[in-house]
Chain A
Amino acid sequence: MNILKNRDVLLAFAIVLLIGGVAARFPAFVRPGNLVNVFNDTSPLILLAIGQMIVILTKCIDLSVAANLALCGMAAALMNGMGVPLPLILLAVVLLGGALGAANGLLVWKLGIPSIVVTLGTMTIFRGTIFLMTGGAWVNAHQMSTAFKALPRMVFLGLPVMSWVALAAIALFFMLLTRTPLGRSFYAVGGNPHAAVYTGLDVGRTQCIAFVISGALAGLTGYLWVARYAVAYVDIAAGFELQVVAACVIGGIAIVGGAGSVIGAVLGALFLGVINNALPVIRISPFWQMAISGSAIVIAVTLNATQNRPKGRIILKEVEPT
């Protein structure tokens, strides 16, 4: 655990360094208002990264999160169009997202299909479903009610509601992972599935729960995303799943399962969020984003591997001088 904590500190340090570097040339970047903006912009990534991290802890991967987000976002927009009250919409997107996650989870649990195959498949199925629901049509700002659009932007104690949702999720899942039996079981199932069975844990069921959590978070984020950007269509958040996985890998979540922390995932997301927000400030085309998160994944996975290389037993003892 010490290594992990050190790692988190290193990553936090890197983020501060990054912000400092940008601020040295463009002091406006560190104005409190702008930092709030950066955090707010990164909130969706943080929410999804937390869900993804739990899935990865259990030795799975969820590539369908962005499609899930888009589908739930569209569902929220359509419900809003039908006049469904906002609290009900919020409840519905969380349930729908969770149900989509459960679909992934059940395929992994009950049929033992590798999660990468399941979620590659459901990723296209979810996006295709949006097309079937809308015929490819967009839901634009003027088709959404004011309250629907306003909620995520509403400022409360200096922070927009979207940021508060992210903070609440961080706190909630931090407690869940460190202080509840369910949280510990995610680590156990991914760290040593064989032993988990002997401890009375159901590996498949735990993995399924992880998918439900990841799905529910994606569903909630779907509403926030659509309401904030005031548009919903088939391709929103396309390719976002890669950023989410990148955030986890950068945050030191071991892709083989069993190791990682909420703090790591959040820091990983913030690292990418700061870069994404800094690019326009230092006048680099946003087209660099993709390559940067790609390189970040490659570099992070290389670093993770060299850090965690087994040290091997040390058998040899020096001959004692006689």
Chain B
Amino acid sequence: MEPILSLRGISKSFPGVKALQDVQLDLYPGQVTALIGENGAGKSTIVKVLTGIYQPEEGTITMDGQDLHFANAQDASKAGVTAIHQETVLFDELTVAENIWLGHAPRNRFGLIDKRAMRDGARDLLLGIGSDMDPDLRLGDLGIASKHLVAIARALSTDARVVVLDEPTAALSHKEIHELYDLVETLKAQGKAILFISHKFDEIFRIADRYTVFRDGQFVGAGAMQDVTEGQLVQMMVGRAVDQIFPTRTPQIGAPVLTVAGYDHPTEFADIRFTLHQGEILGFYGLVGAGRSEVMQALFGITTPSKGAVRIDDKFRVIRSTHDAISAGIVYVPEDRGRQGAIRGLPIFQNVTLPSLSRTGRGGFLRLAEEFKLARDYTRRLDLRAASLDQELGLLSGGNQQKVVIAKWLATKPRVIILDEPTKGIDIGSKAAVHEFMAELAAEGLAVIMVSSEIPEVLGMSDRVIVMREGRIVDEVTGGAMTPERLVRAAAGIAEAA
């Protein structure tokens, strides 16, 4: 079979980084090609080259045997390449129909947009992918899964021949993911060439026909899925065999540190009660949107619960702000590192000392020497790689930024550390380092809560697992009862097999 689209010898560099070096990629009609690689392997760069956002310095883009040059996103779109991104990027204030037809709306004989044709066309496209959504709805009023449908309808409306799905399932629930798989089948049946980017291996093996692996901006290999095993793919990704991922630990569980009772929130969660002990790693498992992060953010003072009590070391604490939480000894490493964790424009040392300024300073005044000392101690402990502590945080890699965020919290000498999806979107090497570090914190007597949606991580790291569904705790498991089946059933609300 001939590929619809071929990239050959593509190179792209940014100041100081070679993002892509002589890479190749082939996409075939009616087939799903999975693009696999660690973070920083160049996946998002190649998507931007494909969709005309970036122009490569070298290399050719061939479609149906013709050499193409995409000067901008419009060119790529005209050539029939369309992309659906990690967080569906469309326009909340426009209607479903307007979103689908933006940029190529049907016109009437006066050259004006033909609203009726637009609405009818949108309805047909949506029906074609099994949705009876009203095309006049405002996009902002829809949920993420419905927005995905609109994005896909949009892709179909442009007569796209190449569809890029960039981590489309990252924000979807279990059921929505399955609906997406069905859609991918529909697209395949229509002969579209699909590029599928995902970190989840089960998903790749389920829907992909072919694979292409990148590592550090270079092409490593490509082929048919049936000829490859999971182990081989991992080896290609990391360039080495990964056998043991999780550290072995002998937990020393001590006295209760944090007790939460009767925690309620009007719309997010209800009746949350649990106890966390010294030296324990408590996993919180559930589907995305089960209310786990919301509970943690309430504990950290971001959102206010309507009732409930929090006790730390036998003292009741009222937490109304993050400030209260930190002084109570609770810290939170957020899931959204870029937006909620790192302050990129400030130097490393100022990021580390930000919540500890009352300790390094005196009477509201700063003492720089003390700040540097604190920053030095904690960044060294995390094996931070940086040129100097005075360097802007934004200049470091994602993994190193995460280390600074963690250092910031350790420097407050907390009693409880909450890690929300601590390894989401980071490469396998950094993952192992974060896991090691969590084990070490617990061994030192810290109480650790880990929110995670990855079953292997939850099972591999936790001493105890709490499962949440639709805002409530539905199961609590320890020891030998911690099996993947039990967690998945509890999270999805499937009754125990008879």
A and B touch in the complex (CB under 8 A): yes
Task: Decide: B95 and A1 in contact? CB cutoff 8 A.
Answer: yes
Closest to A195 in B: B89
Task: Decide: A197 and B471 in contact? CB cutoff 8 A.
Answer: no
Chain B residue contacts of A313, Cβ below 8 A = 267-268, 289
B 63-82 binary contact with A (CB < 8 Å = 1; else 0): 00000000011111100000
A314 contacts partner chain B, Cβ-Cβ < 8 Å = yes
Chain A residue contacts of B102, Cβ below 8 A = 181, 184-185, 188, 199
Q: Given A175-B112, A180-B113, A198-B85, do A191 and B103 touch, yes or no (CB 8 Å)?
A: no
Closest to B72 in A: A200
A322 contacts partner chain B, Cβ-Cβ < 8 Å = no
A2 contacts partner chain B, Cβ-Cβ < 8 Å = yes
B92 contacts partner chain A, Cβ-Cβ < 8 Å = yes
A142 contacts partner chain B, Cβ-Cβ < 8 Å = no
B 398-413 binary contact with A (CB < 8 Å = 1; else 0): 0000000000000000
Task: Decide: A258 and B294 in contact? CB cutoff 8 A.
Answer: no
B207 contacts partner chain A, Cβ-Cβ < 8 Å = no
Task: Decide: B103 and A200 in contact? CB cutoff 8 A.
Answer: yes
A139 vs B268: C-alpha distance when bound (angstroms):
66
Q: Given A179-B112, A315-B268, do A198 and B53 touch, yes or no (CB 8 Å)?
A: yes
Interface residues of B in 258-312 (CB under 8 A from A): 265-270, 289-291, 294
Q: Given A192-B91, A258-B93, do A200 and B470 touch, yes or no (CB 8 Å)?
A: no
Which residue of A1, A179, A197, A317 contacts B73 across the interface (Cβ within 8 Å)? A197
Task: Decide: A181 and B105 in contact? CB cutoff 8 A.
Answer: yes
Closest to B138 in A: A1
A110 vs B90: C-alpha distance when bound (angstroms):
25
Interface residues of B in 35-82 (CB under 8 A from A): 51-53, 72-77
Closest to A317 in B: B470
B 89-132 binary contact with A (CB < 8 Å = 1; else 0): 11111110010001101000000110100000000000000000
From residue B174, how far is it (CB to closest CB) to chain A in Å?
Answer: 15
Closest to A188 in B: B91
Task: Decide: A200 and B294 in contact? CB cutoff 8 A.
Answer: no
B83 contacts partner chain A, Cβ-Cβ < 8 Å = yes
Q: Given A179-B115, A314-B267, do A187 and B103 touch, yes or no (CB 8 Å)?
A: no
Which residue of B83, B113, B138, B289 contacts A315 across the interface (Cβ within 8 Å)? B289
Interface residues of A in 159-185 (CB under 8 A from B): 175, 178-181, 184-185
Chain B residue contacts of A2, Cβ below 8 A = 138
Task: Decide: A181 and B89 in contact? CB cutoff 8 A.
Answer: no
- For chain A, the bracket of interface size reads 20 to 34
From residue B109, how far is it (CB to closest CB) to chain A in Å?
Answer: 13
Chain B residue contacts of A258, Cβ below 8 A = 91-93
Task: Decide: B113 and A179 in contact? CB cutoff 8 A.
Answer: yes
Task: Decide: B90 and A259 in contact? CB cutoff 8 A.
Answer: no
A 177-214 binary contact with B (CB < 8 Å = 1; else 0): 01111001101100110111111111000000000000
Chain B residue contacts of A200, Cβ below 8 A = 52, 72-77, 103
A195 vs B76: C-alpha distance when bound (angstroms):
15
A178 vs B118: C-alpha distance when bound (angstroms):
12
Task: Decide: B92 and A191 in contact? CB cutoff 8 A.
Answer: yes
Q: Given A175-B112, A199-B102, A200-B103, do A187 and B269 touch, yes or no (CB 8 Å)?
A: no
Interface residues of A in 284-322 (CB under 8 A from B): 312-317, 319
- For chain B, the bracket of interface size reads 35 or more
Task: Decide: B89 and A316 in contact? CB cutoff 8 A.
Answer: no
From residue B432, how far is it (CB to closest CB) to chain A in Å?
Answer: 32
Which residue of A1, A192, A196, A316 contacts B265 across the interface (Cβ within 8 Å)? A316
A 1-22 binary contact with B (CB < 8 Å = 1; else 0): 1100000000000000000000
In this complex, the member of A188, A200, A201 whose beta carbon has the largest number of chain B beta carbons within 10 angstroms is A200
Task: Decide: A192 and B290 in contact? CB cutoff 8 A.
Answer: no
Task: Decide: A259 and B93 in contact? CB cutoff 8 A.
Answer: yes
Task: Decide: A316 and B268 in contact? CB cutoff 8 A.
Answer: yes
Chain B residue contacts of A180, Cβ below 8 A = 112-113
Chain B residue contacts of A201, Cβ below 8 A = 73, 103
From residue B436, how far is it (CB to closest CB) to chain A in Å?
Answer: 33
Chain A residue contacts of B270, Cβ below 8 A = 316
Closest to B91 in A: A191
A196 vs B289: C-alpha distance when bound (angstroms):
27
Task: Decide: A202 and B291 in contact? CB cutoff 8 A.
Answer: no
Task: Decide: B113 and A191 in contact? CB cutoff 8 A.
Answer: no
A179 vs B113: C-alpha distance when bound (angstroms):
5
Q: Given A200-B72, A315-B291, A316-B265, do A191 and B115 touch, yes or no (CB 8 Å)?
A: no
Q: Given A200-B103, A315-B290, do A191 and B470 touch, yes or no (CB 8 Å)?
A: no
Chain B residue contacts of A314, Cβ below 8 A = 267-268
Closest to B104 in A: A181
Chain A residue contacts of B112, Cβ below 8 A = 175, 179-180
Task: Decide: B94 and A198 in contact? CB cutoff 8 A.
Answer: no
Task: Decide: A316 and B291 in contact? CB cutoff 8 A.
Answer: yes
Chain B residue contacts of A316, Cβ below 8 A = 265-270, 291, 470-472
Chain B residue contacts of A179, Cβ below 8 A = 112-113, 115
Chain A residue contacts of B83, Cβ below 8 A = 198
A316 vs B124: C-alpha distance when bound (angstroms):
34
A258 vs B72: C-alpha distance when bound (angstroms):
23
Interface residues of B in 452-477 (CB under 8 A from A): 470-472
Q: Given A181-B113, A197-B73, do A312 and B267 touch, yes or no (CB 8 Å)?
A: yes
Identify the 9 closest CB pairs spanning chains A and B, nearest first. A200-B74, A195-B89, A316-B471, A200-B73, A179-B112, A191-B91, A259-B93, A315-B471, A315-B291
Known: A1-B95, A179-B112, A316-B269; 14 extra A-B contacts, CB below 8 A, are: A1-B138, A178-B113, A180-B112, A185-B103, A192-B90, A195-B90, A197-B53, A198-B89, A199-B102, A200-B52, A200-B75, A313-B267, A317-B470, A319-B472
Chain A interface residues (CB < 8 Å from chain B): 1-2, 175, 178-181, 184-185, 187-188, 191-192, 194-202, 258-259, 312-317, 319
Query: 30 A-B pairs, CB-CB below 8 angstroms?
Result: A1-B95, A1-B136, A2-B138, A179-B112, A181-B102, A181-B103, A181-B105, A185-B103, A191-B91, A191-B93, A192-B92, A195-B90, A197-B53, A198-B51, A198-B53, A198-B83, A198-B85, A200-B72, A200-B74, A200-B75, A200-B76, A201-B103, A258-B92, A259-B93, A312-B268, A315-B294, A315-B471, A316-B266, A316-B470, A317-B470
Chain B interface residues (CB < 8 Å from chain A): 51-53, 72-77, 83, 85, 89-95, 98, 102-103, 105, 112-113, 115, 136, 138, 265-270, 289-291, 294, 470-472
